[in-house]
Amino acid sequence: MNQGGLVGRLTKDPVLRQLSRNRVQSHFSLAINRNYKNSRGEVETDFILCTVWGKLAEHIVRFCGKGSLIGINGRIQSRSFMNEESTKIYITEVVVEDVRFYRLKPPDSDGSKVPPSSSVNQEILKDFVLPEKELQLPVV
């Protein structure tokens, strides 16, 4: 079974990419604090690359900006490609299959975006979990 779940904050505003045959896709990174402190008493953070496709990508780009707290479920995938210097680059990422919006921050790039409180957006978000208060993760 290849299934993982993560909760973290977006490191920057996600951008929607239009691909051939009307397909859409977005990449983003989630910053996820580890649940322990290192020897210097600091909480370390992991940055996880995520890829999302289709309507789910459109929803994330529309409603989430840098700092939004979201939960994702998906499968872990490894791939490789050759860069401009003919060096083979390896990437491990999470291909997002489900998302939960916990604490949204609107994207900065487009001030014309409709805030999530409108009736149209509530209809789109009806299948997503929107808790009343921010998820509190313990720091050990």
pLDDT in tens, 27-65: 999 999 998 899 999 999 999 999 999 999 999 999 999
User: How confident is the prediction for the chain on average, in pLDDT?
Assistant: 83
More confidently predicted of 115 and 96: 96
Asked whether the beta carbons of 52 and 25 are under 8 A apart, the reply is yes
- Which pLDDT band, with edges at 50, 70 and 90, does 132 fall under? very low
Percent of the chain surpassing pLDDT 70: 77
pLDDT of residue 109: 55
Average pLDDT over residues 11-40: 93
110: its two tokens? 């487009």
Q: What is the per-residue pLDDT across 84-114, written as a single tens digit (0 to 9) for each?
A: 999 999 999 999 999 999 999 888 754 444 4
Buried b (16+ CB within 10 A) or exposed e, 4-39: eebebbbeebbeeeeeeeeebebebbbebeeeeeee
